């Protein structure tokens, strides 16, 4: 097992990464303070892993909530069902919530923990590659609104993150590739040697080689943890983690949830950001091609399948929360591994990139 710590003063917490960690009762119970534990999962993950997780919790009063599976259910209404379960079971302020599932379960459980009785403890047990390298770390929690993704939420850190890579055995290949988009993102935005490492091991990674996966997840969490430790509330540097996301969210919002997986939309978005960076003179074409090639080798999309017009795309970009007072601030690249935030690019160039990807 490998361990790293997210350093946030009194809110610091460990991230454990390894094999068969959900067979180790000590790891979880070290981070549970009260007697009551609510495990939150979804209809796909619960039949696979809920009993195993519950068997770690024999010392506690345990209840469970099984949410419907899908991004379209990442809503306040669904979070309300967690509150119903907590109140029906008389859970008090000393309880702990455990998120067992992908990013959708993690984001909603974290949000419920942040608000229930003004804040109770929670633990993340992420079971998708995307949630293991990204959403379970850093404390962003929340739900979607019909006018935009993740528009309602709060920053709320877990007590620990337990990444059992054996849960990836049951994850389908498309979901696994979607997680690879966020892995690749860390390399592209700030760590060229990690990009090269992933690039040279991509076939074995896609084949889920366990040792490589542990190293890759560790490095991804480590890169994210170091950025979050410097800027927990995204007043500056943390925004770099949104590379590809303003474009990606426009794709997700316009096509509707479920057409593109989050990671797939981010893959296309990252390439759009790279092309804009190239056209603005910050990035070489061979670097754009390197990004495109690693995405292709990861079985990720590099274009938009589905009908989006340029004007729909622009409109969707402007409801994205990364838009500050009119000018769309984007994460651009000054070379591989060197992202920066900018609103200093020409609108015509942005339009050109969007036209290349959309139906006009």
Ligand X SMILES: NC(=O)c1ccc[n+]([C@@H]2O[C@H](COP(=O)([O-])OP(=O)(O)OC[C@H]3O[C@@H](n4cnc5c(N)ncnc54)[C@H](O)[C@@H]3O)[C@@H](O)[C@H]2O)c1
> What SS3 class is residue 309?
strand
Active-site residue set? 118, 140, 182, 224, 234, 238, 242, 245, 249, 262
101 interacts with ligand X by CB under 6 A: yes
> What's the CA gap between 169 and 89, in Å, rounded?
33
Six-digit token pair at 201? 């091991």
Helix or strand run (H / E) with residue 342 = strand 339-342
State in angstroms the smallest separation of the CB of 141 from ligand X. Answer: 6
State in angstroms the smallest separation of the CB of 158 from ligand X. Answer: 11
> What's the CA gap between 228 and 103, in Å, rounded?
18
Among the listed residues 27, 178, 184, 291, the single contact to ligand X using CB under 6 A? 178
Provide the pairing of β-strand 36-42 with 323-324: unpaired
State in angstroms the smallest separation of the CB of 178 from ligand X. Answer: 6
107 interacts with ligand X by CB under 6 A: yes
**Other C-beta atoms within 10 Å of 200: how many?**
10
> What SS3 class is residue 106?
helix
> What's the CA gap between 136 and 321, in Å, rounded?
20
Restricted to residues 44-63, the positions that interact with ligand X (CB under 6 A) are 44-45, 48
Stretch that binds ligand X, among 87-95, 123-131, 316-324, 329-337 (CB under 6 A): 123-131
What's the number of CA atoms in the CB half-sphere (13 Å) around residue 243? 32
104 interacts with ligand X by CB under 6 A: yes
Stretch that binds ligand X, among 43-51, 60-68, 190-198, 347-355 (CB under 6 A): 43-51
**Other C-beta atoms within 10 Å of 90: how many?**
10
Q: Which is nearer to ligand X, 34 or 148 (CB)?
A: 148
81 interacts with ligand X by CB under 6 A: no
Among the listed residues 12, 23, 30, 170, the single contact to ligand X using CB under 6 A? 170
Residues at the interface with ligand X (CB under 6 A):
42, 44-45, 48, 69, 71, 74, 101-105, 107, 127-128, 130-131, 134-135, 138, 140, 150, 167, 170-171, 175, 178, 262
């Amino acid at each position: 097992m490998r361990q790293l710590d997210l350093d946030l003063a009194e809110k610091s917490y460990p991230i454990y990464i390894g094999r068969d960690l959900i067979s180790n009762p000590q790891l979880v119970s070290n981070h549970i303070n009260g007697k009551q534990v609510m495990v939150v999962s979804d209809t796909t993950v619960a039949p696979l892993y809920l009993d195993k997780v519950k068997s770690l919790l024999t010392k506690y009063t345990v209840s469970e909530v099984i949410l419907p599976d899908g991004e379209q259910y990442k809503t306040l209404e669904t979070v309300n069902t967690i509150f119903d379960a907590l109140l029906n079971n008389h859970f008090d302020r000393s309880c702990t919530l455990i998120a067992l599932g992908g990013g959708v379960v993690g984001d909603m459980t974290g949000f419920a923990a942040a608000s229930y009785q003004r804040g109770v403890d929670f633990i993340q047990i992420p079971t998708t590659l995307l949630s293991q390298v990204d959403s379970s770390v850093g404390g962003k929690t929340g739900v979607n609104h019909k006018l935009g993704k993740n528009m309602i939420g709060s920053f709320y850190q877990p007590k620990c993150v337990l990444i059992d890579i054996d849960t990836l055995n049951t994850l389908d290949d498309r979901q696994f590739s979607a997680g690879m988009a966020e892995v690749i993102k860390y390399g592209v935005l700030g760590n060229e040697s990690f990009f090269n490492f992933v690039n040279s091991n991509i076939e074995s990674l896609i084949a889920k080689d366990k040792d490589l996966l542990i190293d890759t997840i560790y490095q991804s969490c480590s890169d994210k943890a170091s950025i979050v430790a410097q800027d927990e509330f995204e007043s500056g540097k943390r925004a770099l983690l949104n590379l590809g996301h303003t474009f990606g969210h426009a794709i997700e919002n316009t096509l509707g949830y479920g057409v593109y997986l989050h990671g797939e939309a981010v893959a296309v978005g990252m390439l759009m950001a790279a092309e804009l960076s190239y056209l603005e003179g910050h990035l070489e074409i061979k670097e754009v091609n390197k990004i495109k090639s690693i995405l292709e080798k990861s079985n990720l999309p590099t274009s938009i399948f589905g009908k989006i017009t340029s004007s729909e795309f622009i409109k969707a970009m402007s409801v994205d929360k990364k838009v500050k007072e009119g000018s769309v601030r984007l994460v651009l690249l000054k070379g591989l591994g060197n992202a920066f935030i900018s609103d200093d690019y020409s609108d015509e160039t942005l339009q050109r990139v969007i036209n290349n990807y959309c139906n006009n």
